Amino acid sequence: MNQQIWLTAYYHFPSVFSCRVPMSSISSAKTLPSPGPATIRLALIRTGIELFGLDHIRDELFPIIRSMNVKIIPPEQVAISTQTLKHYKGSADERVVDSIGYREFAHARGNLQVCLQISTAYVDVFKEILRGIGYWGQTSSLTCCVRVEHKEPDKSLCAVPLWKISPDVRTQSYFVEVATEFKRQDLTWEEIAGNTENMLSFLDVEIFLWPLYICERDGKGTLLVRRSL
């Protein structure tokens, strides 16, 4: 019988990254200090298709990816700044005009840790997929997997849904923001890959707390330092 084990992948950020907070406007986008659980599951699917082909991912690995335990340990320090960018904006008469938009970008020191709980039978394939992830969310948010090891996550350093936090934990001054997670563990492939009317209907939005203490917040940006919950 196959056992469940934890795999932890360490990701270096070679430059700034921007994982958009769900529901924040495209023209004024905030960033999370790390990708959320749904972004990680989608990156596993996307990279898996590239490395192993669509059929294998859809038929073999998707049922695992949609329901596996995913834990996220953010980098040790994260700095967030707002950047002004040139955007295209559609008008009512379908013309496109130049406009500006705002988007937050984060810079990190230390590695992001992505922890997956999987059956031992799938360790090799998930190691390869984890190593193959090259960006989170948008393609300019480059990342590089520096190693993957068998290691259980330190739960006090993981981002957690706010409702799971015990009332006696002091959460003041920690980073709190909404992130997305798959709506159900039995989602169908068609729900996530189909060209449906509402492309994001398979996602749930939850309030998460990151074990990142807000050290500074001023005109230059926000500086976050990792601290156990």
Partner 1 sequence: MSDENAIYEMSINARISWQAHSLSNVGSNGSNRLLPRRQLLSDGTETDACSGNIAKHYHASLLTEKVAADGGRICPACLRGDGRRAAALIALPEYKNLNLKSAVTECVVCDTHGFLLTGKKGEEGKSADRERVSKHTTVEYAFALALPTKHAESDQLMARGGNSKDGGQMLMKMVARSGEYALCVRNKCAAIGNDLESGQQLVKDPKERQRRHHYVLEALRDQFLSPSGAMTATMLPHLSGLKGAIVIRRTPGRAFVYSPLEEDFIEQLQGMSVGICEVRVFQSAAEFSAIMSDLATSSTPYTVPQYAKGKA
| 221 lies in the binding site for partner 1 (CB under 8 A) | yes
Q: 124: which DSSP letter?
A: H
CB 30 within 8 A of CB 179: no
How many C-beta neighbours within 10 Å does residue 200 have? 13
| 77 lies in the binding site for partner 1 (CB under 8 A) | yes
| 91 lies in the binding site for partner 1 (CB under 8 A) | no
Q: Shortest approach of partner 1 to residue 86 CB, angstroms?
A: 7
Positions 111 through 170 that interact with partner 1 (CB under 8 A): 128, 131-135, 139-140, 142, 144-146
Indicate which single residue of 8, 9, 10, 13 sits in contact with partner 1 (rule: CB under 8 A).
13
**Residue that is written with structure tokens 């190693």 in the block:** 147
Q: In the numeric block, which tokens belong to residue 38?
A: 């749904």
DSSP string covering 182-213, please? Answer: ES-TT--HHHHHS--SSTTTTEEEEEEEEEEE
Q: In the numeric block, which tokens belong to residue 107?
A: 């810079």
Count of residues near partner 1 by CB under 8 A: 52
Indicate which single residue of 165, 214, 223, 229 sits in contact with partner 1 (rule: CB under 8 A).
223
Indicate which single residue of 25, 27, 83, 188 sits in contact with partner 1 (rule: CB under 8 A).
83
Indicate which single residue of 63, 107, 183, 213 sits in contact with partner 1 (rule: CB under 8 A).
107
For every residue of 50-81, which 3-state class applies, written as one string? Answer: HHHCHHHHHHHHHHHHCCCEEEEECCCEEEEE
Using the rule CB under 8 A, give the single segment among 12-20, 59-67, 165-173, 205-213 that binds partner 1.
12-20
Q: 20: which DSSP letter?
A: E
Indicate which single residue of 23, 26, 89, 109 sits in contact with partner 1 (rule: CB under 8 A).
109
Indicate which single residue of 1, 3, 84, 185 sits in contact with partner 1 (rule: CB under 8 A).
84
Residue 36 backbone phi and psi in degrees, to 5: -90, 175
| 175 lies in the binding site for partner 1 (CB under 8 A) | no
Q: 17: which DSSP letter?
A: B
**Residue that is written with structure tokens 């990142």 in the block:** 212
Chain positions contacting partner 1, by CB under 8 A: 12-16, 46, 49-51, 53-54, 75-81, 83-86, 88, 94, 96, 100, 105, 107-110, 128, 131-135, 139-140, 142, 144-146, 195, 197, 199, 215-216, 220-223
